[in-house]
Amino acid sequence: MSGTTFDLPGRMVMSAIADAITELARDMRFAVRSLMRAAQLSPDRVNALVFSGFAGIALLIAVVGIAGVLAFSVSARTREFGMRLAVGCSPQALLRHVLSEGTAIAIVGVGAGAVGGFPLSRVATSFFTSVQMPNMLAVSAAAAVLVGAAVVASWLPAARASRIDVIEALRSE
């Protein structure tokens, strides 16, 4: 069933159900129209809403994962970053270096996903003939969003690395 309206028998059934509910619940203030509206929601819209929620959660997990890996990397390399700053590296160059590491992680992840995803999508289309796989524009847009999210996730550890106190970093183990 495509679209947001029911065919004629479906409308007759919904009308009969609405009439029965209003007869049974005359003393209650019951919103039959809201039930009818909820029943007419398109399955495509519901699927899009559910998949968007899952995609948002997956993106959040990816951002937290990249930020965590880079935060660990920055804390483990505090002495190295302190030495770089001591020999004349600018904080902006250090910031760009850590941001490029986060971007590289994302590009490798997107590449691995593409290498594994495209053959699996061919296999999936052979099993699920009614499912249409996304086009290259959608896949490219998703990859761009992931790389952009990785740059955003890398910003906080990169800023922390660029603000390292040189004396404290050289004194640490």
For the segment 23-68, what is each residue's pLDDT rounded down to a tens digit?
Answer: 766 655 545 555 555 556 666 677 788 889 999 999 999 889 888 9
Asked if residue 123 and residue 81 are part of one domain, the reply reads yes
Tokens of 161: 């690395």
pLDDT band at 137 (very low <50, low <70, confident <90, very high): very high
Answering whether pTM is above 0.75, one says no
Answer yes or no: is pLDDT of 73 > 60: yes
Q: How far is CA 173 from the centre of its chain?
A: 38
Asked if residue 60 and residue 85 are part of one domain, the reply reads yes
Tokens of 87: 């020999």
Domain count across the chain:
2
Give the whole-number percent of the chain exceeding pLDDT 70: 80
Model pLDDT, residue 6? 47
Average pLDDT over residues 104-128: 88
Local structure of residue 42 (DSSP, 8 states): -
Asked if residue 34 and residue 53 are part of one domain, the reply reads no
Q: How far is CA 164 from the centre of its chain?
A: 31
Domain region containing 6: 1-41
Asked if residue 68 and residue 56 are part of one domain, the reply reads yes
**Closest C-alpha among 142, 71, 56 to residue 102:** 71
CA distance 138 to 142: 6
Mean pLDDT check: name the lowest of 85-89, 114-118, 121-125, 136-140. 121-125
Answer yes or no: is pLDDT of 4 > 50: no
Buried b / exposed e across 84-105, counting CB within 10 Å, b at 16+? Answer: bbeeeeebeebbeebbebbbeb
Model pLDDT, residue 35? 53
Asked if residue 79 and residue 14 are part of one domain, the reply reads no
